[in-house]
A and B are shown apart, each in its own frame.
Chain A
Amino acid sequence: MPERSDYRFTRTHEWVLPTGGGEALIGISDTAQGQLGDVIYLDLPGAGTRLTAGARLGAVESVKAASDLYSPVAGEVVETNDKAVSNPELVNQDPYGQGWLVKVRLEGELPAELMAEADYLAYANAEQH
């Protein structure tokens, strides 16, 4: 089981988790899923799509709102979480586990501006108030 301390977060509320072998999972934070509410639809790139750090990755749509997703890292999509695409409520129920969105093959190091969880939570909390 990955430790939460292994996750790195963006200011746009995505996370990335290196899983070894130069690969990583990308998802959205618990704060983000809570703000969005019940997720109805995931618009995710297919395998082979090139991702640029900070560029649009896809979109997540809930009953309340549609929200763009931004890639935390540069790399290439190797897998889309089809289970989450067909059961988007997984993003609400388990945002750090079964609700992951895409698996990528990383290019280079993780960007230095990504935050550890404690820093991210402080940032997200300040943003809400």
Chain B
Amino acid sequence: MEVPLGDTHRRLGARMTSFAGYQMPMQYTSIRQEHEAVRQRAGLFDVSHMGEVTLEGPGTLDYLQRLVTNDVSKLAPGRALYSVMCREDGGIVDDLLVYRDESGYMCVINAARHDPDLDWMQAHLPSTGVVLTDRSRETFLLAVQGPRAVEILAPLVAEGSPEDIRYYHHRPGTVAGVPVRLSRTGYTGEDGFELYGPAEQAARVWDALYDRGQGFGLLPAGLGARDTLRLEAGLRLYGQDIDESTDPFSAGLGWVVKLGKGEFLGSGALRRAAERPSRILVGLRLGPRQLARPHQPIRHESTEVGVVTSGTFGFTVGTGIAMGYVPPELAAPGTELKVRVREDPEQLAAATVVALPFYRRADQ
């Protein structure tokens, strides 16, 4: 499938890659340059492959409270909430953002989980009182991220500066004449905005941000930099760090599970998982020239104790960085482990357990 801006990306010289059934930009210049642009100036991402599902009707809050682990009753209009939704056994169906508007809610789900999520959401939908609409194909999602993002976006918004939109807040606005949702969120560890709007008008918003960004050193950024940025920021990726075989407590996402809010899908299993997770997702810092990759084994002394779920080079922190699951007794920061690097089983790199995130921006 094509994202609405496929031609724009090719014109900008993107190397395209297939991801979750979509042709997506992997990189335009180099992953390092795009990563550094986002950390130091700004980057512009097209992540229109993400799924958007709106929910309306009098039964929506009760439905969402049963569907997701976080407490949606606390979510005021104009705010966004990160959560997961879990199976009855506590396995994670997907991680998602829930937006609340005056008239209803919007869930933003992973592209690779679109079909299973929709099946799951439909299966638990009450017979009346909630109208669920899949708006994934008709919605673009552009992200402008980095310390200059607010300056780049501000004059393009018709209704006044977006500077007053606080982190994890959102409001409607008009950018380049296109009606959008302005959301102060992102997946990079930097300040920035995500803009949702009608797919057929994506190019107008992209062009406006791209053109204005040129005076600020903005670069278009692809999935390659998105991955190195999110991993430095300690953000989990569904399909690698979390999936149906992992529960949110093992994954370090216990903070989005509100066991006190009443019964919800997976609450029984999650109560047990909260007491004694069998393994824990940790951050691993490697040497300056060492890269761990997903599926490579983690060892403690000579015993295999876990597996890497994400691994890359942290361009800002300057070392190889990874996440992986290890037994709780080996999860304390400072624990010295080893990770197999490259194909050769004898090539073991020292990996130190560190607290996540690997990178935190200065003003946080």
Q: Give A contacts to B, CB under 8 Å.
A: 37-38, 40-41, 43, 59, 61, 63-64, 66, 88-89, 92
Specify which chain B residues have a CB less than 8 angstroms from the CB of A38 in the assembled complex: 30-32, 313, 315
Specify which chain A residues have a CB less than 8 angstroms from the CB of B342 in the assembled complex: 43, 59, 61, 66
Specify which chain A residues have a CB less than 8 angstroms from the CB of B228 in the assembled complex: 63
Specify which chain B residues have a CB less than 8 angstroms from the CB of A66 in the assembled complex: 291, 342-343
Please tell me if B290 contacts chain A, counting CB pairs below 8 Å: yes
Please tell me if B224 contacts chain A, counting CB pairs below 8 Å: yes
In the complex, the answer to whether A41 meets B290 with C-beta atoms within 8 Å is: yes
By Cβ-Cβ distance, the 7 closest A-B pairs, closest first, are A41-B289, A38-B32, A40-B313, A38-B31, A63-B313, A66-B342, A63-B31
Contact with A along B205-226 (1 / 0, CB 8 A): 0000000000000000000100
In the complex, the answer to whether A63 meets B289 with C-beta atoms within 8 Å is: no
Total inter-chain residue pairs, C-beta < 8 Å: 35
A38, A43, A66, A88, most chain B CB atoms within 10 A: A38
- Rounded to whole Å, the gap between the CB of A90 and the closest CB of chain B is 13
Interface residue range, chain B: 10 to 19
Specify which chain A residues have a CB less than 8 angstroms from the CB of B315 in the assembled complex: 38
Separation of A61 and B32 alpha carbons in the complex (Å):
14
In the complex, the answer to whether B290 meets A37 with C-beta atoms within 8 Å is: no
Contact of B224 among A37, A59, A92 (CB under 8 A): A37
Specify which chain B residues have a CB less than 8 angstroms from the CB of A92 in the assembled complex: 30
- Rounded to whole Å, the gap between the CB of A109 and the closest CB of chain B is 33
In the complex, the answer to whether B27 meets A41 with C-beta atoms within 8 Å is: no
In the complex, the answer to whether A63 meets B224 with C-beta atoms within 8 Å is: yes
Q: Which residue of A lies closest to B27 (CB)?
A: A37
Separation of A43 and B344 alpha carbons in the complex (Å):
12
In the complex, the answer to whether A37 meets B289 with C-beta atoms within 8 Å is: no
In the complex, the answer to whether B32 meets A89 with C-beta atoms within 8 Å is: yes
Specify which chain A residues have a CB less than 8 angstroms from the CB of B289 in the assembled complex: 40-41, 88
18 of the cross-chain contacts (CB-CB < 8 Å) are: A37-B224, A38-B30, A38-B31, A38-B315, A40-B313, A41-B289, A41-B290, A41-B291, A43-B342, A63-B31, A63-B224, A63-B228, A63-B291, A64-B31, A66-B291, A66-B342, A88-B289, A92-B30
